[in-house]
Amino acid sequence: MKIDYQDLIDRGFKAEYYSDSVHEKKHGYQAFRLDFKLTKRLSMHWHPDDMICKVQNCNKEYDVLYEEELTLEEVDFLINLHSKVKVDKANNYTHVA
């Protein structure tokens, strides 16, 4: 399911830029993805090319053990479950100390 960039930025995802000359030549902008680290080995990633957010579980060598596409509701669930960012039923986002 496609998820808009701003919906993930509002939830605390951070942009990670990287060098990819083929991408830059084709699209006219620097390659990036949005990331949200849930735990040491569990994180969510979003790429602008397909607008799909995925959760990845990695082992200690950072090999991907599991990957699955997420809906925005599943993103909210994982943020609530694994982080200090809480999303209420009205989609208000607060950081918990």
Task: Please give the model's pTM, rounded to 2 decimal places.
Answer: 0.78
What Å distances lie between residue 44 and 6, 12, 29, 58, CA to CA? 15, 11, 22, 11
Q: Are 32 and 15 in contact (CB under 8 A)?
A: yes
Residue 11 pLDDT: 94
| Ordered mean pLDDT values, 10 residues apiece, the chain (97 residues) | 95 92 85 91 92 94 93 93 70 65
Domain ranges of the chain: 5-95
